[in-house]
Amino acid sequence: MAMKIPRGRKPIALLLVMLLGALVVLTARVAWIQFVNGSKLSEKVRNQLQESQVLLSSRGTICDRNGRGLAISNLTKSLYVNPGILNKDPDTLANELSAILGMQASEIKERLMVPGGFVWIKRTLEPEIYDKVKNLIDEEGIKGLDFIEESKRYYPSDRLASQVIGFVGTDDVGLAGVEMTLDKQIKSAEVRQPIDTDSYGIPIFKSILTFNPFKQGKNVNLTIDSTIQFIVEQRLDKVMNDTKARAATIIMMNPHTGEILAMASRPTYDPNYFYRANSAAWNNRAISVVYEPGSTFKTIVAAAALEEKKVRPDELLVDKGYIEVSGRRIQNWNGQSYGTVSFLKILEESINTGFVQVGMRLGAVCLNQYVRAFGFGQPTGIELPGEESGLLFETKNMRDSDLATMSIGQSIAVTPLQLLTAVSAIANDGVLLKPHIIKEIYNADGSLVLSMPPEQIRQVISPETARVLAEMMEKEVSEGGGQKAAVTGYHFAGKTGTAERLNESGSGYAPGEYIASFIGFGPVEDPQVAMLVVIDSPEGVYYGAQIAAPVFHDIMTEVMRYLGVRPLRGTQPVLNLPAAMPGSTTIKLGQPAPNGKASVPDVTGLTIRQAGIAISNAGLAIIPQGTGVAVSQSIAANAIVDPGTEIIVNFEPR
């Protein structure tokens, strides 16, 4: 017989059944939420109660070859606002912050009024700016303004090697130089910081303070030597001040490895404040500006002619002072004739007519092959952005007049780095190397990621040809137009250059503007360094022999001492070539001068070039007036004057 529930207890039993049913339903619901749909709901809650901000993590350090830090990352403060709890009038606060941050008040006000719980005002504040903002917050009890620590890029050496290193924008992206080329390696992975908020979107303070975003990227060692770079830049600033030039560039390379030891241009900038500089100052002129090389390019023509045995150093050629090719008249820079001279003397005196004759012997096809083999007409491939290719003739389109002008370094355009790389091949027994500026890359723990050994491109000329040409170029420095580049105690090879400046439009020449240059390497017996000096549009004297060669001398004198290269005993010439060739000119020298003084030579009857050499050798500067031969000079012969004194020489046609 079934058990009967007493009538009075039925409501209680029904209630228990209902409660039990509800408990079962709730348990099932909790289980569904927890185990089946829990991850989705948790994500939804996180999205509602968290904001996400990408913070700047620590970039790797960029050092010179000796480990000196050139670009480092330090912790700094970034300012943000929570508009939802801001307790100060936006207009007033915007004006106050504008005066401190250097931002437009309207821009700040717009950020103060953005809906939401987190808005950046300005990131990576300088310490003094942070102090001023913090004092403002504390003094006025402002709520809603606060700071987060981020990483900021600093350049402790200020302008040193700025165009090589580059800079980083406020969004942690490399915008120039090595910072741009190795951006992905130098910076770490993107760091996204979740910021916990309450139901009103207000950041929970603890979630901001406990964050540590800094995972450093890879470190980079450059081939640059900071000491040599400093020597170069110091002298570069001086020549800019002395000549009032528009721009200038100096590059130094190890010719046996292709390593760039120094690379600098003017105008320049401080990467800590890159935004204050004109964008033209960011430009690395060593790789991104092309120019007509003029006489410095004759070293390449000479290399091709000697290698092809089209000419010998002692071979005599006739210079009439001009030469006509396909109806085009090409003359020496001074319009004068040197008569019968050796090819050695043609290189020493940079005689245009002689190089035109040699170029015609080579022919367009052969010369172009050598020019391209030396690396012209294409980027060198150095690890820097913005490298230009230069401009060369297409062989099939060349006329004889094009071959003639190319033979004297005109009607083509090269970058400074292309020219230095090519001449370094002469110093390296004819082997062309790829220039590079990255030495090593390391992980943050110090383990090596990448090392850059010398990269040989090709053997352009034979070692024998390279050595003969190096000896001829040494004559240019010891006896020819490059004597102001000579370094006491050492044999250096070199070549001067003076060329008309191309118009900015790339068509024609800028009237009255010139580019003075000097390229060389040494010591000739075992070249340790090669260097190019380019001075763009100097005021007054513009000859490479007078303003670029002395820069070479000054820098190399210090660098030899710094590198510990021992000088030779005595000053005997390195060449076995005869000291004088048929057709050479004997230059008149001034009387001996006391120490610290100079004696003015007698230049009457000399050509402009001969007078320039004589005055330059005496440590003085020439200001030529007219053309032809010298008929008078502003300071009498044998007068004792200070070094660097300018001598005005009047020339008249014969």
587, burial (CB in 10 Å: exposed 0-12, middle 13-18, buried 19+): middle
Identify whether 191 is part of a domain: yes
Measure Cα distances from 523 to 323, 427, 494, 497, 504 in Å: 36, 10, 11, 21, 37
Identify whether 263 is part of a domain: yes
**pLDDT: which is higher, 335 or 633:** 633
The CATH number of whichever domain residue 605 belongs to comes to 3.30.10.20
Same domain, 212 and 235: no
Identify whether 13 is part of a domain: no
Q: Would you state the torsion angle of the CA atoms of residues 251, 255, 261, 265, taken in this order, to the nearest 10 degrees?
A: 10
Q: What angle do CA 412, 417, 419 make, to 5 degrees?
A: 50
Q: How confident is the model at residue 170 (pLDDT cuts 50, 70, 90)?
A: confident
Same domain, 243 and 207: no
Distance CA 596, CA 88 (A): 71
Kindly report, residue by residue over 74-132, the tens digit of the pLDDT: 888 889 898 888 888 889 999 999 999 999 999 998 888 887 677 889 988 888 999 99
**pLDDT: which is higher, 511 or 455:** 455
pLDDT at 633 over 70: yes
Kindly report, residue by residue over 443-495, the tens digit of the pLDDT: 988 899 999 999 999 999 999 999 999 999 999 999 888 999 999 999 999 99
Same domain, 413 and 312: yes
The CATH number of whichever domain residue 93 belongs to comes to 3.90.1310.10
- Domain boundary residue, one of 543, 565, 583: 583
Same domain, 577 and 591: no
Identify whether 410 is part of a domain: yes
Would you tell me how many other CB atoms lie within 10 Å of the CB of residue 349? 23
SS3 content of the chain, % helix, strand, coil (to 5): 35, 25, 40
What pLDDT is attached to residue 2? 53
Same domain, 158 and 247: no
Same domain, 213 and 267: no
Identify whether 512 is part of a domain: yes
**189-193, 228-232, 358-362: segment of lowest average pLDDT:** 189-193
Identify which of 391, 388, 310 has the alpha carbon closest to the alpha carbon of residue 356.
Answer: 310
Same domain, 492 and 609: no
Distance CA 345, CA 351 (A): 8
- Domain boundary residue, one of 220, 246, 280: 220
Q: How confident is the model at residue 585 (pLDDT cuts 50, 70, 90)?
A: very low
Kindly report, residue by residue over 268-319, the tens digit of the pLDDT: 999 999 999 998 899 999 999 999 999 999 999 999 999 999 999 999 999 8
Same domain, 536 and 646: no
Identify which of 462, 464, 460, 473 has the alpha carbon closest to the alpha carbon of residue 524.
Answer: 473
Identify whether 485 is part of a domain: yes
Mean pLDDT across 34-45: 60
User: Where do the H-state alpha helices sit in 441-594?
Assistant: 463-478, 544-547, 549-563
Could you tell me the residue range of the domain that residue 653 belongs to?
585-654
Same domain, 570 and 544: yes
- The total number of structural domains in the chain stands at 3
- Domain boundary residue, one of 175, 203, 220: 220
What does pLDDT average to over the chain? Answer: 85
